[in-house]
Amino acid sequence: MSNAPESFWAKLPLGRGVQIVERDPNGLVAFAKPAGVLSHPNEPRDEPRSLLVAHYDKPGEFFHWPAVEGRAAGKLWLLNRLDSATSGLLLAASSEKLAHEIRVSFQRRHVKKIYNALVFGALREVREIWRDRLAVDKRGGQIRTAASGHIASEAHVRVLRSVRESRLLTLIELEPKTGRSHQLRVQCAKRHLPIVGDATYGDFKANRDFAKSTGEKRLFLHSLKTEFEYELHGGKFRFSATAPLPEEFSTVF
């Protein structure tokens, strides 16, 4: 049985364009968030453009909201994060116990994550394994990752589709085997395959040309699928969720 009633899920204060795409009986939920929506607010003024329009407790990593007419007070524990520019899957749990158990699974890397990205250029092979050593610098709330460092980073990559507009574009599938900040964006850029719309590590001129011809300015990186197993109250459970590829990707093809 879920530890949250149906009314809890039906009346979640979802952010703009956020949808529930999967939920299990233990209270684990997967959301699909659009590009431009924050995983959580960094300060109160950010709440209207976050996954949930609610207060966020940073130390405890949970959303919380007061009771209002027609809706009870509630809490929801956030389990992963995406850059605001990245669309796709965010996971949350309706209890602290469940959140703890799933975070343990994540720390042991018992999780499969699949991303799709649209990049400028073409890969040499249909399937590739990318292994790099990156450097991650976190200062003043900002993250910057460099293509040379000591942090081992690995991703398995597969070509899905290519199209030539003003220049060659390739849709790729990426399965990160490590979870470094900005890992996929930096690994793509290092191979001269910048992700379309990447305003930090990308090809700025190509981004401007693409936006001018298509009207699209977003970062074309999407968290598509997540699969993992976890334990709770002596039982083992499997969870799988998919966030459909946004329409902006399909319009390119």
Burial of 43 by CB count in 10 Å (0-12 exposed, 13-18 middle, 19+ buried)?
Answer: exposed
Query: Residue 16 pLDDT > 80, yes or no?
Result: yes
pLDDT of residue 163: 86
Nearest to 219 by CA among 182, 165, 190, 178: 182
CA distance 62 to 169: 39
Global pTM reads 0.91
Q: Which of 33-47, 123-137, 206-220 has the lowest mean pLDDT?
A: 123-137
For the stretch 176-192, pLDDT in tens is 998 888 999 999 999 99
Confidence of residue 222 (pLDDT cuts 50, 70, 90): very high
| Residue-range domains of the chain with CATH | 6-108 (3.30.70), 115-221 (3.30.2350.10)
- Which pLDDT value is given to residue 112? 95
> Out of 107-116, 134-143, 146-155, 179-188, which region has the weakest mean confidence (pLDDT)?
134-143
Confidence category of residue 166, pLDDT binned at 50, 70, 90:
low
Q: Is it the case that residue 1 has pLDDT exceeding 80?
A: no
User: Which whole number is the average pLDDT over 103-120?
Assistant: 92
Tell me the average pLDDT of the chain. Answer: 92
pLDDT tens digits, residue range 75-103? Answer: 999 999 999 999 999 999 999 999 999 99
Q: What is the pLDDT of residues 25-65, one digit of tens each?
A: 999 999 999 999 999 999 999 999 999 999 999 999 999 99
pLDDT at 81: 95
Confidence at residue 144, expressed as pLDDT on a 0 to 100 scale = 63
Residue-level pLDDT at 210: 94
Closest alpha carbon to 13 in 87, 41, 245: 41
Residue 253 has pLDDT above 80, yes or no: no
Task: Please compute the mean of the pLDDT values over residues 93-116 and round it to a whole number.
Answer: 92
Q: What does the pLDDT average to over 67-77?
A: 88
Residues 125-142 have a mean pLDDT of 80
